[in-house]
Chain A
Amino acid sequence: MKQALLAIWKRAVQTARLCCGVPDYDVYVRHLRQHHPERSVPSYAEFFRERQTARYKGTGGRCC
């Protein structure tokens, strides 16, 4: 039960962050470790800043 609630909470956080243009950090770290072991892993703060800047780079725009 607790496990299930925790999983739902994680999904909700993931959705909320994605709505703000911040993809899942853990997924990114896993991706880096698996495919680019030579690269250094950014901290969550660094990752967040990079994504925040990328979101307003001029593509997409917002819906009316």
Chain B
Amino acid sequence: MQTATTPSGQALAAAAPMSPASKLLWAAIAIIGACCLGVIALRRDEPVNAIWLVAAAVSVFVISYRFYSKFIAYKVLQMDPSRATPAVLRNDGLDYVPTDRWVVFGHHFAAIAGAGPLVGPVLAAQMGYLPGTLWILFGVVFAGAVQDFMVLGLSLRRDGRSLGNMLRDELGPLAGIVAMFGVLVLMMIVLAVLALVVVKTLAHSPWGTFTVACTIPIALLMGIYLRWLRPGRILEVSIIGLVLLLTSIWSGAYVAASPDWAVLFDYDAKSMAWLLIGYGFLASVLPVWLLLAPRDYLSTFLKIGTVLVLALAIFIVAPNLQMPAATRFIDGTGPVFQGHLFPFLFITIACGAVSGWHSIIASGTTPKLLSNEGEARMVGYGGMLMEAFVAIMALIAAASLHPGVYFAMNSPGALIGTTVQDAATTISQWGFVVTPTELLDTARNIGETSILSRTGGAPTLAVGMAQLLHSILPGQGVMAFWYHYAILFEALFILTTVDAGTRVGRFMIQEIAGLIHAPLKHTESWTSNLLATAICVGLWGYFLYQGAVDPLGGINTLWPLFGIANQMLAAIALMLASVVMVKLKRERYLWVPGIPAMWLVACTLTAGWQKLSGPISFTAAAQKYAQALQDGKLLAPAKSITEMKQIVTNNTVDMLLTGLFMLLVLSMAGFALRAGIRAWRTHHPTAHEEAYVALSSVTS
């Protein structure tokens, strides 16, 4: 590796000045965008149509892409189309392959699109649609897309190295180790919280549970087909899989209607958590071709397909937003998640605006595929804009629901009670007038017995989507079908994330265990395989079970931990980018990654602190239950002294974890500052970039 001495120069070739026609066009787009934003922000007396929101988002995104991402590409990262990329230099036909930019874009988007951007904005809708919309729009433009693009750009100049390796090279070896450890802890929380979304969705839903259970035999069948019958025919087998899935959704209605069958698929949250833990273990020790890979294919295609269907439905139906622009819950007293707008709105939306995980993808497969540095802007910045658009659609789906229904679905039973009468009374008192009949009707329309406290965002999005699709294709039972389709799609790809994540976690644990006892490192050994998998499943399983027995329903308690963890990783990635800017002696552009990095550090530390001390903290919850224990009282939902003690322990663990996350951010900020100051004082560039090789000298 060689230290870059001077930037190659070619990148600075200034963009051609804008023609008058083009100036006029962009001015028009800016005016349209401003008008749309004005409408969604200022109109109060009548409902706002979702199309205003879509139009505002599209204008903000195209303007930011045209101007800000170009500025980053030319000035900040100085992407150089004449410079050979890792894919060209190390072309091996497998991992490093120069690939068409649209293909890379599709691959990158499929890799970054996950459950987070669908769930976070739905939860954030408790504050109204406006705060969430504004953060998704401006968060992605100035933080999220900047992070993805910059990490991709840095990795492109470093042989496609991973985030961990780049941190080690630029911030020092200790920083690399601390970050890797952080990523492992973070992953466990991510897996637990996502699995909890599935638990909350499927608890006491025989129809949903049946269809998700059906994916196991379907995947096995697909696995065998792909392995033995028609090797590698992914498209064929995915179509077969899809047809079987749709059949299982259709037959689920009959399962739910038959008392004999329904009881076989009716589980409470606790049993569901245990089932998922057992399943996660099995799925990650079985050969990948049998279960994990075929489900992965199904979920990838289903995800892209569903996002397209959602977009189409929003365009055709153009629903009115029934949720107010801002609700009274911006004061921090909301039932869905606790805490004030700052920092908890930002922590809750997480992936839709900024996602730390993308820095792992942007320094993973994507930089090994780009055939030209000039294409990094479209893939890195553009890909994240697409993801934010998905987040906007999720927000629209949630905000177009009746607010009473929204709050009935997303508030914990401890706050709204467990009967429709109690729920309707409480929610109406909050100012969102709803009748018990409306709640019952919604449940009946989607083929469920109850919609109360179906927290976690996924069921809400599914109802929103079902209502949109129902107004396009009206008919008896259509809404129930679409609801369960949406549930299945979300559960399927969350479970794929959980299985794949468990395997990754297992390898990481084996790596760490190998430091203590070398034979544990062997990934082929069944003993160490089972042991490491059990540890990994145990880690996320603990938090999952904790969520299932949590007094506030789990999501309310654990989603903030997920958000803090995710935003913390994003802060780390942006700090890396900031240090590299100084090391390249481009200090004048330090603000581009530096301001969002500082913002994210401030958000995660403030949120962390409020979860450590104060009224909404884990500490306060632990103390409340400990005090009740002393007084010999039982607090709901605990039914015994043991359960009370369990809740105290769980909150203490969450408290320690929050502390650990804060320590992690602070130490990474320390490493970044140290490296940054050292580089600032040096008068020549010190970044670890690979030497310049001209593209023209390599391509044959």
Contact = CB atoms under 8 A, between A and B. Distances in A.
B497 A63 contact: yes
Nearest to A17: B234
Interface in A24-60: 24, 27-28, 30-32, 44-45, 47-49, 51-60
A52 to B, nearest CB: 5
B267 to A, nearest CB: 24
B200 to A, nearest CB: 16
- Give the interface SS of chain B, mostly helix, strand, loop or mixed: helix
Contacts of B296: 20
Interface stretch (B100-108, B451-459, B684-692): B100-108
Most buried by A among B93, B102, B113: B93
A4 interface: no
Contacts of A54: 94
A18 B103 contact: yes
Interface residues of B, number: 59
Contact of B235 (A13, A18, A48): A13
Contact of A64 (B100, B110, B115): B115
A20 B300 contact: yes
A52 B497 contact: no
A63 B116 contact: yes
A56 B365 CA distance: 13
B147 interface: no
A58 B532 CA distance: 13
Contacts of A57: 507
B496 interface: yes
B355 interface: yes
B483 to A, nearest CB: 23
Contacts, number: 128
Contacts of A22: 232, 234
Given A14-B103, A49-B289, A58 B358 contact: no
Given A14-B103, A52-B293, A64-B351, A19 B94 contact: no
B462 to A, nearest CB: 19
Given A19-B107, A27-B93, A27-B97, A63 B112 contact: yes
A2 B236 CA distance: 22
B141 interface: no
Give the bracket for the number of chain A residues in contact with chain B: 35 or more
B218 interface: no
B277 interface: no
Contact of B92 (A24, A31, A56, A61): A31
A16 B504 contact: no
B93 A60 contact: no
Nearest to A12: B106
A64 B232 contact: no
A22 B107 CA distance: 11
B97 A61 contact: no
A31 B90 CA distance: 12
A49 B231 CA distance: 8
Nearest to B97: A23
B501 interface: yes
B60 interface: no
Interface of A: 11, 13-20, 22-24, 27-28, 30-32, 44-45, 47-49, 51-64
Q: Which 9 A-B pairs have the closest CB atoms?
A: A58-B507, A48-B232, A31-B93, A45-B231, A63-B114, A15-B106, A28-B93, A19-B110, A61-B504
7 contacts: A14-B99, A20-B296, A23-B94, A24-B99, A58-B507, A61-B357, A63-B358
